């Protein structure tokens, strides 16, 4: 199939979770996450405290835009004909995914690649972003062919970027102590019931973790896995939680830890508060020195990966001619369980 050189640019919809830009936006943000259900005063106070602790606002919009800009520099290098037009949509705050889809339709976009800034597929995460794209098409009564990047948890560039952070984290300790440093890799917890529904999330996380450990040259006894940011619903959640795992490591004699979240690709409250504040507090209380390496943010390898994933999808669809074959893994689409809630404010 020969790409149509007269067709409109290929739209690229980058999607992320979203976050409040000020403390005053937190009530509306929580209302959206909770689908309009009232937020208790205790939850509002807790989330406000968390955001106040990290400076009063989420940095995710600016960081995601930097990732988009970096990917765009690869997709359409300066001086070459433009093939793509990028867009940014957030799941729970402005710019909303549905409204961004409407803008794409107004711009005459007929073909698009959609990618979430999260490497691991779950029916409680990636599938919901994709549902919002479809909701936007329904809302604005538009027709646009969309190709989705479902997952990229084992992409070589992703693994190398994370492994590099592990190595640099270990190097924060004196050379004589580095063999004793323990690495904890983590990601957002989900309700245990997702596993019974065949959700690939946990298997993909563990694959990413094993590949990172191998690339970073870690011994089997030098690293472990943990979840974080458990929600408030009464059902069981995937364990262990990071704030409990650190004391358990301390009880085994571990006093030096590198904590790296591999389920997130940029700084936001689940890193800046859950690790930098809560996990650090647990570490101090148990005599553990904890180092948290920088998040991926606009790491050159990561933004290059995003571009390769997008171009690979467009090439597979016959929209562009490309030799790109990104090292990504596509998870099958999963049905969304009824009544699922977003993790941090599900109470």
The model's confidence at residue 325, banded by pLDDT at 50, 70 and 90, is low
- Match 């016959």 to its residue by tokens: 318
Residue 37: name the closest of 257, 346, 322 by CA.
Answer: 346
pLDDT of residue 324: 64
- pLDDT score of 9 more than 80: yes
In words, the CATH class of domain 156-291 is alpha beta
Q: Where are the alpha helices (DSSP H) in 76-125?
A: 97-106
Check for a shared fold between 10-153+299-316 and 156-291: yes
Which residues, other chains included, contact 133 with Cβ-Cβ below 8 Å and sequence gap of 6+? 13, 15, 97, 101, 114, 146, 148
Neighbouring CB atoms inside 10 A of 69's CB total 13
pLDDT of residue 6: 63
pLDDT of residue 3: 56
- pLDDT score of 339 more than 80: no
For residue 155, count CB atoms less than 10 angstroms from its CB and return exposed for 0-12, middle for 13-18, buried for 19 or more: buried
The model's confidence at residue 8, banded by pLDDT at 50, 70 and 90, is confident
**Helix (H) or strand (E) run with residue 16 in it:** strand 10-16
Distance, CA of 151 to CA of 169 (rounded, Å):
26
**pLDDT above 90 as % of the chain:** 87
Neighbouring CB atoms inside 10 A of 287's CB total 10
Query: 20 in the Ramachandran plot: left (φ > 0), alpha (ψ -120 to 50) or beta?
Result: beta
pLDDT of residue 2: 52
Condensed to tens digits (0 to 9), the pLDDT of residues 138-166 reads 999 999 999 999 999 999 999 999 999 99
Q: Output the six-digit token pair for 70.
A: 């970096």
Domain ranges within the chain, ordered by starting residue: 10-153+299-316, 156-291
Distance, CA of 231 to CA of 221 (rounded, Å):
29
**CATH level 3 topology of 10-153+299-316:** Rossmann fold (3.40.50)
Q: The pTM is what?
A: 0.91
pLDDT of residue 330: 40
Distance, CA of 10 to CA of 311 (rounded, Å):
10
Average pLDDT of the chain to the nearest whole number? 91
**pLDDT above 70 as % of the chain:** 91
Q: In this structure, are residues 274 and 242 in contact, taking their beta carbons and an 8 Å threshold?
A: yes
- pLDDT score of 329 more than 50: no
- pLDDT score of 32 more than 70: yes
Which residues, other chains included, contact 79 with Cβ-Cβ below 8 Å and sequence gap of 6+? none
pLDDT of residue 231: 80
pLDDT of residue 7: 72
Condensed to tens digits (0 to 9), the pLDDT of residues 87-129 reads 999 999 999 999 999 999 999 999 999 999 999 999 999 999 9
Q: Kindly tell me the number of DSSP H helices and DSSP E strands found in the chain.
A: 12, 8
């Amino acid at each position: 199939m020969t790409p149509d050189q007269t067709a409109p640019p290929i739209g690229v919809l980058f999607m992320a979770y979203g976050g409040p830009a000020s403390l005053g936006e937190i009530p509306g943000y929580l209302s959206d996450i909770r689908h309009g259900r009232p937020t208790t005063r205790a939850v509002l106070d807790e989330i406000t405290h968390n955001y106040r602790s990290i400076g009063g606002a989420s940095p995710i919009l600016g960081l995601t835009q930097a990732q988009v800009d970096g990917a765009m520099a690869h997709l359409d290098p300066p001086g070459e004909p433009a093939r793509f037009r990028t867009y940014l949509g957030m799941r729970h705050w402005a710019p909303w995914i549905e409204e961004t889809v409407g803008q794409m339709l107004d711009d005459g976009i007929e073909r698009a690649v959609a990618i979430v800034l999260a490497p691991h597929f779950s029916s409680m995460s990636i599938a919901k972003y994709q549902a919002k794209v479809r909701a936007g098409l329904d809302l604005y009564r538009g027709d646009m062919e969309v190709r989705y990047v479902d997952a990229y948890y084992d992409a070589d560039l992703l693994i190398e970027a994370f492994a590099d952070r592990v190595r640099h984290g270990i190097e924060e300790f004196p050379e004589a102590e580095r063999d004793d440093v323990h690495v904890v890799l983590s990601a957002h917890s989900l309700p245990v019931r997702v596993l019974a529904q065949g959700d690939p999330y946990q298997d993909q996380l563990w694959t990413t973790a094993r590949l990172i450990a191998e690339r970073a040259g870690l011994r089997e006894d030098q690293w472990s896995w943990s979840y974080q940011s458990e929600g408030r619903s009464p059902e069981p959640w995937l364990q262990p939680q990071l704030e409990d795992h650190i004391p358990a490591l301390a009880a085994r004699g571990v006093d030096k830890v590198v904590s790296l979240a591999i389920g997130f690709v940029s700084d936001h409250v689940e890193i800046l508060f859950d690790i930098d504040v809560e996990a650090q507090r647990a570490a101090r209380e148990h005599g553990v020195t904890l180092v948290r390496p920088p998040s991926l943010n606009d790491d050159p390898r990561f933004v290059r990966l995003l571009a390769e994933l997008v171009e690979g999808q467009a090439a597979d669809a016959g929209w562009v001619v490309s030799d790109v074959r990104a090292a990504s893994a596509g998870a099958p689409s999963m049905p969304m369980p009824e009544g699922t809630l977003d993790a941090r404010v599900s109470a």
